[in-house]
């Protein structure tokens, strides 16, 4: 018989606020969390305002879905996508504000 970890043997119940994954169901990484981080990194490299916004939105949606569904993982990816997306957005604004007038005759 396969080894099964007893989560309650260490003097209590499972950690509060965390639901255990369903038995026999493998946790899956959220695709939206991955997409959030990818959009954020690409937006950071290319100073993309639109990609930064998309990354933040996808990250927030993914984080909410991960918190609501114990079979999803990738909360760290979602948070990283939000953080890097905000940085990409701010960087794009700064770049446009500093070199934009040079190109657009301001």
- Residues 6 or more apart in contact with residue 56 via CB below 8 angstroms: 36, 40, 81, 82, 85, 86, 89
Does residue 69 have a pLDDT over 50?
Answer: yes
Locus of tokens 């509060």:
16
pLDDT at 96 over 90: no
103 pLDDT higher than 90: no
User: What residues contact residue 41 under an 8 Å CB cut-off, 6+ apart?
Assistant: 84
Residue 83 φ/ψ region, left for φ over 0, alpha for ψ in the -120 to 50 degree band, beta for the rest = alpha
Residue 9 has pLDDT above 50, yes or no: no
pTM higher than 0.75: no
């Amino acid at each position: 018989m396969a080894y099964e970890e007893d989560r309650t043997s260490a003097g209590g119940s499972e950690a509060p606020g965390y639901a255990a994954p369903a038995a026999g169901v493998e946790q899956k990484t959220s695709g939206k969390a991955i997409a959030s981080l990818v959009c954020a990194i690409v937006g950071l490299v290319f100073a993309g305002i639109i990609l930064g916004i998309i990354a933040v939105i996808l990250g927030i949606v993914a984080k909410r879905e991960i918190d609501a569904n114990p079979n999803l993982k990738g909360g760290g990816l979602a948070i990283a996508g939000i953080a890097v997306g905000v940085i990409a957005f701010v960087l794009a604004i700064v770049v446009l504000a500093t070199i934009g007038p040079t190109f657009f005759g301001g």
